[in-house]
Amino acid sequence: MPPLISINTLLILASYLLLSAAPFFPYLFGKSVAYPAQMFGLEVFAWLSVWAIFKRPARFHWLLIPAFLAFPTSIYLNIYYGQGITPHHLGIIAETNPSETIEFLGGKIWWLLVVMLAVSAWWWWIWRLARKTRDLDWNHRPSRWLMIAVTVVALSLSTYAYNFGIAAQPEAESVQAAESGVTAATEELTDDDEEVEEEALDDAEASANPYDLPKLPAWMSLSVERDTVGDTWPFGIALHFYDFWSERQYLSELNSKNITFTFGAKQALGTDGPQIVVLVIGESTRFDRWGINGYHRDTTPRLKQESNLVSLQDLITPVSATRLSVPIIISRKPTRQSLTSGFNEKSLLTAFKEAGYKTYWISNQISFGQFDTPVSAFAKEADVVQFMNLGGYTDGSNFDDILLEPMQNAIKDPSQKKLIVLHTLGNHWNYSHRHPKEFDKWQPSLYGMNKPEYTDTALKPQLHNSYDNSVLYTDWFLSEVIARLKATGVVSSMMFVGDHGQVLYDGECELAFHGHNTKFEFHIPAFVWYSKEYKASNPRKVAQLHHHRKAKLSTENVFHTLLDMANVQYQDERLNRSFVNSKFRRHRRYVDSYGWTNYDNAYFKGDCKEVIDRGKPLEQK
């Protein structure tokens, strides 16, 4: 008697079931999955829809190529980062130099090639089986066309809701209003900062509905979040690729969209004369590994000698990735828009230009083209743009001291007022590649080791020592920047701020690098240095700087503070965000940790110091 179902059919179904299981892998690592029942239902619906449209697997199997190829990456992200693929991850992959990938993976690069070949062979093998069998053909025409009709209706409603929104039910609105009233009465921080950010989010949503069509009635909506659809497998991943492509399109058009934007900035009266403002953006640097912040090793011996240096003790970044954090530093982009593409304003580079400053963007990071990344889209606003790193992130890359000569040339420029932004490689992996031999102080280190792998926990002592050695070199570099500013004898100031930190197998923590939602990544070092000439001209600002050195700050404060320090005034300025101003007020500090988590209402879990909101994190849009 022949089997009820053939081996070929079983293999095809088992492969598709394995792909569909990708969103549920966190269960294998003791983690939870959001909306598992909804996720399962969406996957079943997607499979039925595709099967109905194409009738047989051999006709739609080619659609699964991206899912097959991304499958190992999804497993890797779940193991080491506790999350699946997102448009942000696709952006990181696209913006990563191949040499950096090879360095990052070390000996595992061959495993990557083997895995990709194996996955490709897996896809091809199942495709061959699907062509041979007709057991899985959907031959019942009435049920097929009914499923196709349901799919068309569902997609139409979802598309309309996405583009024009969903009308809130009256009962929900009243409950929301009541909850808002309670919050307003009990919340400690009740300034207008939240309202401004909500208005910005509302404006962004309104701009997506240019036809002014009515929102979809709530009773017609499918009550499914778009991100939940994107997290399903295998077809949901197409939504993430679409979002990534949309981001690229947005960035390529950003210059023309913002061409008419202006801050209306001007230099305040009575502040004529030469002035130099320097912003140094650090890379992968964490607060507690700096000697000036209490670390037991003296990793900052030169900076601690600077009497006019104020280290900020509680400044955080809302996101732990360069491509998302730097735009928050240099623009007024709100934290809760940091995961979205672009921004409808220009950066502080344009504000300084309007006020009469010559602006420079000098970077030791790699350039991928002026519109390729969220950072370079802003960097091109500068009068002078220089990307100095020609060697990637490998042994051939430059140390950060390569920025000193072009900085000195900028200082010598006859323009009276200058803003100089230095974007460093700082403490980026591989840590031993970030400094010359003479800074290899703490041993044993990774220095001279051929392609060390950061996932090799046996190298934990070397990893820690090399990271501290890279901070020691950063101390030297920053002190050299300060020395050059001192030598000018003019009103000058410098702000240093990291883009994000690192987790380094701390204690029993089994995580390294960034993207893990830990305090080590969000709490970053930052300081302000000022010349004696600046202090003489701005004694009140200096006093406020010292007064707020322990204030609860975030990188959202940098834009407002840097312009205030330079006495640049502009439309809609918010001096309550400047920590060198007497009008400074605290604002809520959100971080990207399982939603928008209130950092000051969170606890730090385990040795990894994972940031967990004591309440319910805000939804990310």
**Cβ atoms 201, 336 nearer than 8 A:** yes
Q: Say what the pLDDT of residue 3 is.
A: 58
Helix (H/G/I), strand (E/B), else coil: 7 = helix
Q: Say how far apart CA 83 and CA 144 lie, in whole Å.
A: 35
φ, ψ dihedrals at 469, nearest 5°? -65, -35
Q: Say what the pLDDT of residue 184 is.
A: 39
Among the listed residues 577, 582, 574, the one whose alpha carbon sits nearest the alpha carbon of residue 556: 577
The DSSP code sequence of 451-474 is S--TT-GGGHHHHHHHHHHHHHHH
Among the listed residues 553, 526, 112, 148, the one whose alpha carbon sits nearest the alpha carbon of residue 318: 553
Categorise residue 382: left if φ over 0, alpha if ψ from -120 to 50, beta otherwise. beta
Record the pTM.
Answer: 0.71
Dihedral over Cα of 66, 69, 70, 75: its sign: positive
Strand partners, 266: 569
Q: Say what the pLDDT of residue 179 is.
A: 41
Q: Say what the pLDDT of residue 150 is.
A: 94
In this structure, how many other beta carbons lie within 10 angstroms of the beta carbon of residue 339? 17
Q: Say what the pLDDT of residue 213 is.
A: 76
In this structure, how many other beta carbons lie within 10 angstroms of the beta carbon of residue 280? 26
In this structure, how many other beta carbons lie within 10 angstroms of the beta carbon of residue 445? 25
φ, ψ dihedrals at 528, nearest 5°? -125, 130
Q: Say what the pLDDT of residue 367 is.
A: 62
The DSSP code sequence of 568-602 is EE-TT--GGG-TTSTT------EEESSSEEEGGGE
Mean pLDDT in each 10-residue stretch from start to end of the chain (621 residues)?
Answer: 74 94 83 82 93 94 91 77 66 58 57 85 94 92 95 88 69 44 41 53 52 74 74 86 74 70 92 94 97 98 98 97 93 91 88 97 73 74 86 66 96 97 94 94 92 85 97 98 98 98 94 91 98 97 98 98 97 96 97 95 96 93 69
Read off the tokens for 172. 């929900």
Q: Say how far apart CA 73 and CA 81 lie, in whole Å.
A: 11
Q: Say what the pLDDT of residue 256 is.
A: 67
Read off the tokens for 389. 């790193």
**Cβ atoms 327, 343 nearer than 8 A:** yes
Residue by residue, what is the 3-state secondary structure of 88-132? HHHHHHHHCCHHHHHHHHCCHHHHHHHHHHHHHHHHHHHHHHHHH
Helical H segments across 431-589, by residue range: 460-488, 519-522, 532-537, 539-547, 556-565
Give Cβ neighbours of residue 534 (< 8 Å, ≥ 6 apart): 491, 492, 493, 542
Read off the tokens for 491. 């009103």
Which residues in 28-69 belong to E strands, given as ranges?
none
State the amino acid at position 488 in one-letter form.
Answer: T
State the amino acid at position 485 in one-letter form.
Answer: L
Q: Say how far apart CA 375 and CA 234 lie, in whole Å.
A: 31
Among the listed residues 360, 384, 357, the one whose alpha carbon sits nearest the alpha carbon of residue 271: 357
Among the listed residues 508, 584, 515, 574, the one whose alpha carbon sits nearest the alpha carbon of residue 543: 584
Residues in the chain: 621
Helical H segments across 187-302, by residue range: 193-207, 226-231, 237-257
Q: Say how far apart CA 387 and CA 367 lie, in whole Å.
A: 6
Q: Say how far apart CA 512 and CA 345 lie, in whole Å.
A: 35
Strand partners, 592: 596
Give Cβ neighbours of residue 241 (< 8 Å, ≥ 6 apart): 66, 87, 90
Domains of the chain with CATH codes: 1-167+214-257 (no CATH), 263-613 (3.40.720.10)
Read off the tokens for 22. 């990708």
Strand partners, 612: 603
**Cβ atoms 542, 530 nearer than 8 A:** yes
